[in-house]
Amino acid sequence: MLADHEQDRLVELLVVTAEVIGDQLRPTAAAYMVQDLDCYALPVLDKALASCRRELKGRLSLAAILERIDDGHPAPNEAWAVAIQAADERATVVWTTITQQAWNVALPLVEAGDKIAARPAFLEAYTRLLKDARAARQQAAYGLSLGFDAASRSAVLSDAVAKGLLQHEQVADHLQLAAPVATFNPVALLAGKVEAAPGANEKIRARLEELARELAA
């Protein structure tokens, strides 16, 4: 929900936007519109109203604002392009909740080998779910489907965190652990020598040198 000062700012933006496009909006009417827009962040609403000022002529409506709000939901074809990746069990997929729900509708057709029929089934389900989500003012919520390819999984999850689709805490347990750095030269050890590996830090090098002297004595 918007804070009180953000609601006041939104009223100002609504009134100014209406004036720019040749409309008039009373503060009282703007206050009622705020109630319907309260679930969105102010920067998102500011961006939508900027689009209204560029594109609308004559009248500012709630529907026009909602159409221009970036709520994070991909377009249907974009969602399908993400969902179809889940047909490969090796792939890790980061998708919205309604993308996953629409995929569950199409999945039996995919498993039957009919991807051609699966696509329109997905698009129909996704469009319906998207309409319901937007009517309920629901912004996109992202989750993940883990594939068994650990290398690609780490890349996909790291990219999702970088884009702000997922929080690091959500994926930390699934990220591939980095390979441990060697601290000594195992080949030299076989020859009875203690040598630090190239990647060893100064503290480890000093300890290995001390150990080498002890063994020499």
- Residue extents of the structural domains in the chain: 4-67, 76-174, 186-216
pLDDT at residue number 179: 41
Span 57-83, pLDDT tens digits: 889 999 899 888 888 899 999 999 999
Q: What is the pTM of this model?
A: 0.62
User: Of 189, 135, 144, 148, which is closest to residue 168 (Cα–Cα)?
Assistant: 144
The predicted model gives 2-11 an average pLDDT of: 92
Retrieve residue 150's tokens: 């650990």
Span 22-68, pLDDT tens digits: 999 988 899 899 998 988 889 999 999 999 999 998 899 998 998 88
Task: Please tell me the distance from the alpha carbon of residue 119 to that of residue 126, in angstroms, as a whole number.
Answer: 10
Task: Please tell me the distance from the alpha carbon of residue 2 to that of residue 14, in angstroms, as a whole number.
Answer: 15
Res. 7: pLDDT tops 90 = yes
